[in-house]
Structure 1
Amino acid sequence: MPAPPVRGDALAEAVGLRVRLGGREVLAGVSLAARAGEVLALVGPNGAGKSTLLAALAADLAPAEGAVRVCGRPATDWNAPELALRRAVLPQSAALSFPFPVEDVVRMGRAPWAGTRPADDDDRIVRESMAATEVGAFATRSFAALSGGERARVALARVLAQRAPLLLLDEPTAALDLRHQELVLRICRERAAAGDAVVVVLHDLSLAAAHADRVAVLCDGTVAAAGAPGDVLGQALLSEVYRQPVEVFPHPRTGVPVITPLRGREDRD
């Protein structure tokens, strides 16, 4: 079983990462680390390479050049069962071929622990994961019968049940309403506070500013900037990266950056 991470340890690290898909270079020399005890948000326009970087950090996508390390070792040194104990991945879409009940879907997250001492806690961990994501009320319903937002929360519960120290979440808030967006990102903060490393792809820049310890802004397959939200999410950089004028101002109560498109008077008429 993997040793508990030490806060600040790099649990996922890309070094000079280049990835080509369909003859196109999607990542062009990216170097970035996700550390235990932090939420790292990946933001940027469509096609910037966010999901590709997440897949590479998960060791689900082999780079053309560069290296990926997971929990301090080259990703290629881990076999699939070993990786499953160290990182849990939430893809953009949650699809199942069979109409499993919700509780069974969440329990799938415990599969890597089968035959180990932690498996004795499976029932408790499944219940806690469903409670955290507010899906316990429909534990017996078919996954196939759920709404998109409900499926997204069940898929996150499965990831939480895996109890891996590295969480890689691709757009976990995309299908969710306002309440559940906040719920999911509070869960990310709680996991980081417990010592996990959380990497989350987000499109809502204000959510990233409010909940991430660090933000990496991707553009055309490179990291345009990385650091604390207040240092990175500036008006000039974001306007250039998104090719859309934005305004950035501090929230009147928290001081956290709030990012909105800059709209002229003609847009309000």
Structure 2
Amino acid sequence: MRAPKNPFRARGRLLPSPVPPGSPVAEARGLRVLLGQRPVLDSIDLAAHAGEVLALVGPNGAGKSTLLAALAADLPADGGEVRIDGRPASGWSAAELALRRAVLPQSAALSFPFPVEDVVRMGRAPWAGTDRADEDDPAVASAMAATEVTEFAARPFSALSGGERARVALARVLAQRAPLLLLDEPTAALDLRHQELVLRICRERAAAGDAVVVVLHDLGLAAAYADRAAVLHEGRIAVAGPPAGVFTGELLGEVYRQPVEVFPHPRTGAPLVVPTRGS
């Protein structure tokens, strides 16, 4: 008799199984990363949990993008370890990692003028040959609708503005439907409306059970949308916790070397961070 098909295996790949809410999806334990001989990250202990948005904030050069790349297993650790889905990141094949985490880099560039819809469909490649390959069309359509790029589905990616490219790149990540989203400055090229749209999408993905890690420069966005924030300073985590608890004028002023004032939003209570300016 033929053995029953394992729904969690396809073409030699172990497919991800559902992660209970609150469980760690990605973890850094004593993480150390060197670029050249210079330590960029040191003694990093941090976890991203299913069902939460974790914001990485801090000044330029603090190590935010490096930490995101290490959590994605795109950058090897020089000390400590990174675990994804309960296993050391090095224990997963590239194909298995692609099923577990989707990465949005700071810039999106393509050498060929692919149509927008084809670019978004690239996010479905990890699921080829699995029982979830039949989700390709609805996943692509849903991702394009969420990021408001459906109307230019047939346009060449190279003909888009910077903000439009950023939204298409995010749609590709969403179409991948991985349980861990790692987004590096996804709002940098966007106008006010689409900045808010992207962070609402982050919250929606967390509500659906995903773990979302997002690098942000806008502390107001981090305070409004993140469940937790990790403030990086000189390659270490200065503090991590709910923004309302960790965004203080004293800490942020020291980390950013800029005096700031922190006020509660009059309606939501979320911290508002304003640089201290002269009268």
Aligned counterpart in structure 1 of residue 173 of structure 2, from 159, 162, 179: 159
Counterpart of 1:226? 240
Counterpart of 1:140? 154
SS of match in other structure, 1:255? coil
Counterpart of 2:10? none
Counterpart of 1:199? 213
Q: Measure how far apart 1:22 and its partner are.
A: 2.3
Alignment of 1:58-207 (within 5 A): 58-207=72-221
Counterpart of 1:243? 257
* TM-score, L = length of structure 2: 0.94
In 2, Cα distance between equivalents of 1:214 and 1:251: 17
* TM-score, L = length of structure 1: 0.98
What's the CA shift string for 1:201-247, capped at 9, x where partnerless?
Answer: 00000100000000000000000000001000000000000000001
In 2, Cα distance between equivalents of 1:23 and 1:100: 39
Stretches of structure 2 that go unaligned for 5 or more consecutive residues are: 1-14
- Letter aligned with residue 16 of structure 1: G
- Letter aligned with residue 275 of structure 2: P
Q: Runs in 1 of length 4+ with deviation above 4 angstroms?
A: none
In 1, Cα distance between equivalents of 2:61 and 2:36: 13
RMSD: 0.5
Stretches of structure 1 that go unaligned for 5 or more consecutive residues are: none
- Letter aligned with residue 65 of structure 1: G
**What is the identity percentage for the equivalent residue pairs of Structure 1 and Structure 2?**
76
Q: Does 1:46 align with 2:43?
A: no
SS of match in other structure, 2:31? strand
What's the CA shift string for 1:140-185, capped at 9, x where partnerless?
Answer: 0000010000000000000000000000000000000000000000
